[in-house]
């Protein structure tokens, strides 16, 4: 009886060690799997659409600095900047943001004038962070984006010229 009991106890130690080894190798395996999955999916996303911009967008949360470098290769349209930096709030109305194309929401804001709207976008307003949270944007880019966004809501602001053409 007591022999059987001892034997039972000594048997348990090995499975515990086994379990520890199994758990450890599982953790390592999952870690590797996540790395591989991220590598593969970013490769696929980039390959699907081939463009540097699509790749930059796919990796945006991990590599904002790289995105900033990619942006400097040419001026972006207000719509492109809007999609990248403003749509999260202004497409959905999140945090009370006036929705793109909602003329009722935009009319009183448009009435304050482009300059006031640009100032709000540059400095932030209530729930909106300065520059929509994308500090890499220049004042000119913000202006272009505000013009785009406000015009979708019924304004008729003129798209600002590129910096060198400004009076
Ligand atoms: C985190 C959410 C969020 C993001 C991102 C965001 N906004 Fe906003 N935006 C808001 C909210 C909320 C308001 C309403 C602020 C208020 O009047 O209380 C607003 C208001 C505005 C207004 C009207 C300001 C005024 O004076 O009435 C403009 C113009 C604007 N946003 C432009 C932009 C632009 C351009 C971007 C991207 C560069 C952007 N927003 C990104 C949340 C956001």
Half-sphere exposure of 157 (CA within 13 A, CB side): 28
Query: 92 and 153, same structural domain?
Result: yes
Say if residue 89 is in the same domain as residue 152: yes
| Atom 25 of ligand 1, residue of closest alpha carbon | 117
Instruction: Please tell me the distance between residue 156's alpha carbon and the centre of ligand 1 in angstroms.
Output: 18
Q: How many domains does the chain have?
A: 2
Tell me, yes or no, whether 138 and 79 share the same domain. yes
Same domain, 92 and 134: yes
Residues 160, 155, 90, CA angle at the centre, nearest 5°?
90
Alpha carbon of 86 to ligand 1 centroid (Å): 8
Which has the minimum average pLDDT: 31-40, 63-72, 96-105, 155-164?
63-72
In a domain, 111, yes or no: yes
What CATH number does residue 108 fall under? 1.10.760.10
Q: What is the CB < 6 Å shell around ligand 1? A: 85-86, 88-90, 94-98, 109, 112, 116-117, 120-121, 125-129, 131-134, 137, 142, 145-146, 149
151 within some domain: yes
Q: How many angstroms separate the alpha carbon of residue 97 from the centre of ligand 1?
A: 6
pLDDT of residue 44: 61
Flag whether 64 is in a domain: no
Q: Closest Cα to atom 12, ligand 1: which residue?
A: 97
Helix boundaries (H) for 50-137: 52-58, 64-71, 78-81, 87-90, 103-110, 114-123
In this predicted structure, what is the pLDDT of residue 2? 47
Give dist(CA 48, CA 34) in Å, integer.
Answer: 21
Residue 60 domain-assigned?
no
Verify that 87 and 132 share a domain, yes or no.
Answer: yes
Q: Find the domain containing 139 and state its range.
A: 75-165
Q: Are residues 43 and 99 in the same domain?
A: no
User: From atom 31 of ligand 1, which residue's Cα is the shortest distance away?
Assistant: 121
Q: State the Cα–Cα distance between residues 48 and 41, nearest whole angstrom.
A: 10
| Gap from CA of 128 to ligand 1 centroid (Å) | 5
Residues in the chain: 167
Classify residue 68: in a domain, yes or no. no
Regarding whether 31 and 102 lie in a shared domain, the answer is no
Report which protein residue has its CA nearest ligand 1's atom 7: 128
Contact indicator for 147, 159 with CB cutoff of 8 Å: yes
Q: What's the pLDDT tens digit per position in 69-114?
A: 555 567 889 999 999 999 999 999 999 999 999 999 999 999 999 9
Q: From CA 128, how far away is CA 94, in angstroms rounded? A: 10
79 with 51, same domain: the answer is no
The CA distances from residue 102 to 15, 71, 72, 107, 131, in Å, are 65, 29, 31, 9, 21
**pLDDT value for 59:** 66
Q: Is the domain of 95 the same as that of 152?
A: yes
* Pair 93, 122 in one domain: yes
For residue range 128-151, list pLDDT tens digits in order: 999 999 999 999 999 999 999 999
Same-domain check for residues 135 and 103? yes
Residue 128: phi, psi to the nearest 5?
-90, 125
Is the overall model pTM greater than 0.85, yes or no? no
């Amino acid at each position: 009886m007591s022999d059987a009991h001892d034997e039972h106890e000594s048997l348990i130690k090995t499975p515990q060690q086994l379990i520890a080894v199994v758990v450890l190798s599982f953790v390592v395996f999952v870690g590797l799997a996540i790395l591989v999955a991220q590598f593969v999916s970013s490769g696929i996303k980039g390959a699907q659409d081939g463009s540097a911009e699509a790749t930059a967008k796919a990796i945006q949360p991990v590599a904002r600095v790289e995105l900033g470098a990619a942006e400097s290769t040419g001026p972006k349209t207000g719509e492109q900047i809007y999609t990248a930096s403003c749509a999260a709030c202004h497409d959905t109305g999140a945090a009370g943001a006036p929705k793109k194309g909602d003329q009722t929401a935009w009319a009183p804001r448009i009435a304050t004038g482009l300059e006031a709207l640009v100032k709000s976008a540059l400095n932030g307003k209530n729930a909106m962070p300065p520059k929509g949270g994308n500090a890499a944007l220049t004042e000119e880019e913000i202006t272009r984006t505000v013009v785009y966004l406000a015009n979708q809501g019924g304004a008729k602001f003129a798209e600002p010229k590129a910096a060198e053409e400004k009076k």
